Structure 1
Amino acid sequence: MFGRGTRLSSKLGTITIGDDCGFGAGITVHAAVDGEVVIGNKCIIAAHTYIGGGQYNMDRTDVPIVDQGHRHGLRLEIGDNCWIGANVSIVNGVTIGRDAVIAAGAVVTKDIPDFAVVAGVPAKVIRMRTATEPKEQALATG
């Protein structure tokens, strides 16, 4: 399911979306030149999230950045059963492990391990998910 204003775009790249995913409103998924974006099964992606995009070469100071071209062939992968919060940015070339949770407003610039909960700019692991919820937490949340 795609929310209003969600946009998939590709500049000679590919986008693959798994089964049973939910996309909020205003999401952009972009595969850059020769790049690939892979979103696993059962992912939830909240509103106004940006996934992918191109990366300009920018090392030379004698040439305008826009004239230096893009990095090609980057892969961005989001594993199965991930929850991506609202207003998250995920840059090209990273892998988000399965069952990860990305807090609202985070900027993901590096790989995220399986079962990690991350937050911040740049995103950092704040805890790991477990197979069972602690009893006190389950009682507090109902």
Structure 2
Amino acid sequence: MLKNIILNIFRATRFHLLINKVNDIENIQSCNRGVINNGATFYSEAKVNNLANNQSKIVLGSNTHVRGELGVFNYGGQINIGENVYVGEQTKIMSGESIVIGNNVLISHNVNIADSSAHEIDYLDRAHAHLKMLKYGHPKEKGSVQTSPIVIEDNVWINFNSIILKGVHIGRGSIVAAGSVVTKDVPAFSLVAGVPAKVIKSLIKKADD
């Protein structure tokens, strides 16, 4: 009796693991269908929301590893990610205009990068647009939603729980400390921290260091 129970549990566990593996494979295939992949790797927890239904709107470089979510809106958006980039779990990169990420960039978990305000500023416009979206789906026209491109240069490290808002340019070699909200440009080789993020120190090594 006990042997049969153990065998049944073992079979059920194996079946459950098999189903999970199949689901993981299907999810990774779905991610790859939504992008132009030049040698990047998606993991089972990754997501791609290409609302424009155009692969060329999301382009990934070689040896880039994605565990988070990439998305472009119906009305616009472009995500270009370079080589040797890491995108951590639960990180969301959402574009309504343009997000360019260079090479060798490390993006930790739970980071949000958005080049769009996502909704209208005027409350009447926002209410009307919300009702329209519920009825007709995601809009194909930007309307009064504000967007501004984001550029993250090579060798940047963005720590967990950080937020990068629209219009920001982060210079190469910089570090964004955990929990920071970046609202303004970051000079190259700078450490920024806080809400809003401010330059804490320069990361440029002196000749006598």
**TM class, shorter-chain normalised?**
0.7 to 0.9
Q: 1:2 to 1:81 in 2, by over 3 A?
A: farther
Structure with higher Rg: it is 2
Q: Is the 8 Å Cα contact of residues 181 and 197 (structure 2) preserved in structure 1?
A: yes
Which of 136, 150, 155 is the aligned partner of 1:81?
155
Farther-moved stretch of structure 1 (46-55 vs 13-22): 46-55
Per-residue CA deviations over 1:27-67 (Å, capped at 9, x if unaligned) read: 100001xx000011000000000001521442x46x25344
Which of 89, 101, 108 is the aligned partner of 1:46?
108
| Residue 125 of structure 1, CA deviation | 0.3
Letter in 2 for 1:99: G
Per-residue CA deviations over 1:63-86 (Å, capped at 9, x if unaligned) read: 2534473024x2101010000000
Q: Tell whether 2:80 aligns with 1:16.
A: yes
Over aligned residue pairs, what C-alpha RMSD do you find? 2.2
Q: Tell whether 2:186 aligns with 1:112.
A: yes
- Report the 3-state secondary structure (helix = DSSP H, G, I; strand = E; otherwise coil) of the residue aligned with 2:80: strand
Q: Which residue in the other structure is 2:176 paired with? A: 102
- Report the 3-state secondary structure (helix = DSSP H, G, I; strand = E; otherwise coil) of the residue aligned with 1:69: coil
Q: What CA distance in whole angstroms lies between the structure 2 residues aligned with 1:107 and 1:54?
A: 15
Q: 1:114 to 1:92 in 2, by over 3 A?
A: same
Which of 69, 72, 97 is the aligned partner of 2:144?
69
Q: 1:120 to 1:54 in 2, by over 3 A?
A: same
Q: Between the two structures, name the one with larger relative contact order (CA 8 Å, sep ≥ 6).
A: 1
Q: Tell whether 2:204 aligns with 1:130.
A: yes
From the two aligned structures, give the one with the greater helix fraction.
Answer: 2
Q: What CA distance in whole angstroms lies between the structure 1 residues aligned with 2:126 and 2:115?
A: 16
Q: What CA distance in whole angstroms lies between the structure 1 residues aligned with 2:196 and 2:208?
A: 28
Q: 1:9 to 1:119 in 2, by over 3 A?
A: same
Q: 1:108 to 1:2 in 2, by over 3 A?
A: farther
Q: Is the 8 Å Cα contact of residues 86 and 107 (structure 2) preserved in structure 1?
A: yes
TM-score computed with the length of structure 2 as normaliser: 0.57
User: Structure 1: which 4+ aligned runs deviate by more than 4 Å?
Assistant: 132-135
Q: Is the 8 Å Cα contact of residues 2 and 22 (structure 1) preserved in structure 2?
A: no
Q: Is the 8 Å Cα contact of residues 98 and 115 (structure 2) preserved in structure 1?
A: no
Equivalenced residue count is: 130
Q: Which residue in the other structure is 2:89 paired with? A: 25
